[in-house]
């Protein structure tokens, strides 16, 4: 059984109640409902006059609006890191500095060991941004409301923040004990893959979609991590980002459009067969396998020293799919199971000396 940990944060808001006692009196009249997020196992209370808008598609949280939508609350889980440049999860101070960027008219900001609060104003709207670092997850509470509601909302904001509770996540990992086991995820993967192939592979040139930032392909990408490509201009594999044009060269294939006739056969590789040993004489056979990690990258070309690749979801399940390129050599497509479902994270054009 998991142990439910209640995180009561003692916040000292600079805009707290004045000596009139009015905010306390107002707050005592407010009734609260409880929102529980099943995916990330956290709860938070919200005032009864805010209407739940339904959970986000990635199940990380929910919005709550007043009838006139002038008062809004957003609670959600996030993963703040600098993974595209090889960085780790942001420390609380780094996340705090990032959130301060672009905000004007800040009238209160507080940084603590594992949480921070930023209060600021845009026109006549007040905002409160609260973030709590717990394990490798950031949990966020965001309020916005008219300045005319300031006196009433101060105590409500404080109550909501203090009500937040999160269940212990295993080993601080990014993925909670979710709604599906590893076996269930593997069973559901072929259906997802069939849709991906229909939208982004059959009758398409994948390199062109990747290079042109195709809108359809973008629906299969996670904006928090995008997609990266392994390529080998020589004997050493390099990992390139979108800003580096994925390492594409003029001689790369931007023309071939594979097609398929008949039913597809999805074959799970349950032995030690390498992509180079698999036979691609029948394009209707699609090979896929669960892998523990994506290939390391070389950090020193002279010593060939390598390091693991930093990813946005360190505990996510990874599925590798092997498809033939223009020369019938296998190309690896590495998918990760994110809070928003399966997403393409890496393309590997270095298999078998391709």
Query: How confident is the model over 204-215, as pLDDT tens digits?
Result: 999 999 999 999
pLDDT bracket for residue 175 (50, 70, 90) = very low
What is the DSSP secondary-structure string of 328-345? S-EEEEEEEEETTEEEEE
Report long-range pairs for 289-294 (Cβ below 8 Å, ≥24 apart): 289/319, 289/320, 290/182, 290/186, 290/317, 290/318, 290/319, 290/320, 291/318, 291/319, 291/320, 291/334, 292/318, 293/318, 294/318, 294/334, 294/345, 294/346, 294/348
pLDDT bracket for residue 179 (50, 70, 90) = very low
pLDDT of amino acid 183 = 53
Query: How confident is the model over 232-286, as pLDDT tens digits?
Result: 887 788 899 999 999 999 988 899 888 877 778 888 887 777 777 775 555 678 8
Query: How confident is the model over 312-350, as pLDDT tens digits?
Result: 888 888 999 998 877 777 899 999 988 778 999 999 999
CA distance 291 to 295: 10
Across 89-114, average pLDDT? 88
Domain ranges of the chain: 4-172, 182-353
Phi/psi at 47 (nearest 5 deg)?
-65, 145
- The dihedral through the CA atoms of 193, 212, 348, 344 has a sign that is negative
CA distance 246 to 260: 27
Query: How confident is the model over 154-169, as pLDDT tens digits?
Result: 999 999 999 998 875 4
| Percentage with pLDDT > 90 across the chain | 44
Which of 3.40.1000.10, 3.80.10.10, 3.40.50.11540, 3.30.540.10 is the CATH number of 4-172?
3.40.1000.10
pLDDT of amino acid 283 = 63
């Amino acid at each position: 059984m998991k142990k439910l940990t209640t995180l009561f944060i003692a916040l000292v808001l600079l805009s707290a109640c004045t000596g009139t006692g009015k905010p306390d009196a107002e707050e005592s009249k407010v009734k609260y409902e409880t929102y529980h997020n099943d995916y990330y196992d956290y709860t938070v209370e919200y005032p009864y006059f805010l209407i739940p808008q339904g959970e986000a598609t990635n199940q990380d949280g929910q919005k709550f609006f007043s009838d006139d939508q002038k008062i809004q609350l957003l609670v959600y889980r996030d993963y703040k890191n600098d993974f595209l440049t090889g960085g780790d999860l942001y420390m609380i101070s780094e996340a705090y500095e990032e959130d301060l960027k672009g905000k004007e008219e800040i009238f209160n900001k507080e940084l603590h060991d594992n949480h921070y609060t930023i209060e600021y104003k845009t026109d006549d709207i007040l905002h409160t941004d609260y973030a709590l670092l717990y394990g490798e997850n950031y949990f966020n509470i965001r309020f916005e409301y008219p300045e005319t509601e300031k006196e009433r909302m101060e105590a409500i904001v404080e109550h909501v923040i203090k009500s937040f509770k999160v269940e212990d996540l295993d080993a601080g990992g990014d993925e909670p004990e979710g709604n599906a086991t590893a076996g269930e995820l593997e069973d559901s993967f072929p259906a997802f893959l069939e849709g991906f192939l229909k939208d982004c592979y059959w009758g398409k040139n994948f390199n062109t979609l990747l290079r042109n930032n195709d809108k359809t392909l973008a629906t299969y990408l996670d904006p928090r991590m995008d997609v990266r490509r392994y390529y080998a201009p020589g004997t050493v594999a390099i990992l390139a980002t979108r800003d580096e044009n994925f390492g594409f060269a003029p001689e790369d294939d931007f023309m071939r459009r594979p097609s398929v006739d008949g039913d597809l056969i999805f074959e799970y590789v349950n032995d030690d067969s390498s992509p180079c040993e698999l036979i691609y004489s029948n394009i209707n056979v699609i090979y896929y396998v669960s892998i523990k990690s994506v290939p390391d990258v070389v950090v020193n070309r002279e010593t060939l020293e390598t390091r693991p690749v930093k990813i946005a979801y360190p505990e996510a399940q990874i599925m590798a799919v092997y498809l033939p390129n223009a020369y019938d050599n296998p190309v690896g497509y590495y998918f990760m199971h994110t809070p928003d479902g399966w997403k393409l994270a890496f393309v590997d054009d270095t298999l078998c000396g391709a």
